Structures are given as C-alpha cells and as structure tokens.
C-alpha cells in the first residue's frame, strides 16, 4: 500500500531510485580516486589547486545524489524501474558502434570506414530505402571531404594504405 508521501510525489517514478543509487556510487568511486588523479601543488592558493574544483564538483555530485536518494518516498526497486534501466541500456549499443568505428579507422582508413558505418547505422535506425541509403553514402563522402580536405583535420591514415603504391598511398593518407 503506497504511503501518503508516495502519493504526493510529483514526477515520474520509474528509474528514480536506481538513478540516485548509481549517481551516489559513481560519485563515491570518483571521489575515492581524486588523490591519484589530481595533485596538490605547494605554494599555490587553495582555490587554484588542481584538486580543488574537481573535489568541489564531485562533492556536489555526492551531496545532491545523496539528497535525491534521501528525499525519495520509496525504497524498493520495482519492475518499472528495471524496465527503465533496460531502456537506458539500449544506448550502449551506439557506444559499441562508436567504439568499433574508432578502432576500425586506424586499420582501414577514414574514408572506407565512414562509407561503411554511416549506411550501416542508417540501416540499423530503420532508414532502409534506396534514397536514404544513397543520402547516407553521400553524407559519409561529404563528411570525409569536408574534414580531411577542406578543414584539414589530421586523421591518421589507415594501416591498409601502406599496401598502396607510393603516390596513391600519399594521396590516400593526406586526403582520404
């Protein structure tokens, strides 16, 4: 039976408890690592210390997450919470796509990987018609040309480019 406090809670309930718990745990984990990740510099003002502002931010995270957890009117994880957590987990698929892309670029090169991943992601998101596949290929090509040629962004050439003949290898490394 829901309590009076639970009835008065305004806002979505699903995922709140799991989010608050995860937020507090992550803040504690990061705060426990602060001495190994930052340093204390002698003869430097307190607020100019490299450790000061990260500690303030992480302390604020811990305080706000703890308050959020404390002020929640319920203390049980429901099936709706777990459904919400599964929805959050769906985002991890795109993290894996990105990591695969990042790992493939140094091996195969920016142009071929981009020409493969952009249509593959379009297909995955449900854009499967000829027009959308053509647009995604055009977008991929335009992206490579824009970043490598026009903006001059230094993206390492793929290891596979080493097998191309001299002049062609230089062109691929510089422009594709």
The H or E element spanning position 114 is: helix 110-124
Q: Map out the domains of the chain as residue ranges.
A: 4-89, 92-175
Which backbone phi and psi does 42 adopt, to 5 degrees? -65, 150
Give 123-152 pLDDT, tens digit per residue.
999 999 999 999 999 999 999 989 988 888
Give 78-112 pLDDT, tens digit per residue.
888 899 999 999 999 999 999 999 999 999 999 99
Q: What is the dihedral of CA 138, 144, 147, 151, to 10 degrees?
A: -80
The helix/strand/coil state of 76 is: coil
Give 53-78 pLDDT, tens digit per residue.
999 999 999 999 999 999 888 888 88
Rounded to 10 deg, the angle between the 92-108 and 110-124 helix axes is 160
Report if pTM > 0.75.
no
Q: What is the pLDDT of residue 46?
A: 84
């Amino acid at each position: 039976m829901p309590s009076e406090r639970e009835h008065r809670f305004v806002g979505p309930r699903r995922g709140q408890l799991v989010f608050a718990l995860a937020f507090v745990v992550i803040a504690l984990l990061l705060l426990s690592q602060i001495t190994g990740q930052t340093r204390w510099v002698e003869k430097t003002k307190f607020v100019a210390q490299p450790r000061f502002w990260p500690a303030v931010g992480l302390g604020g995270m811990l305080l706000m997450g703890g308050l959020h957890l404390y002020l929640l009117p319920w203390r049980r994880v429901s099936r709706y919470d777990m459904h919400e957590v599964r929805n959050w987990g769906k985002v991890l698929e795109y993290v894996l796509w990105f990591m695969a892309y990042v790992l493939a670029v140094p091996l195969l090169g920016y142009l071929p990987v981009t020409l493969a991943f952009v249509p593959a992601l379009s297909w995955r998101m449900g854009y499967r018609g000829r027009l959308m596949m053509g647009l995604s290929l055009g977008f991929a090509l335009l992206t490579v040309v824009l970043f490598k040629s026009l903006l001059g962004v230094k993206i390492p050439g793929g290891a596979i480019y080493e097998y191309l003949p001299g002049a062609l290898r230089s062109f691929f490394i510089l422009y594709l």
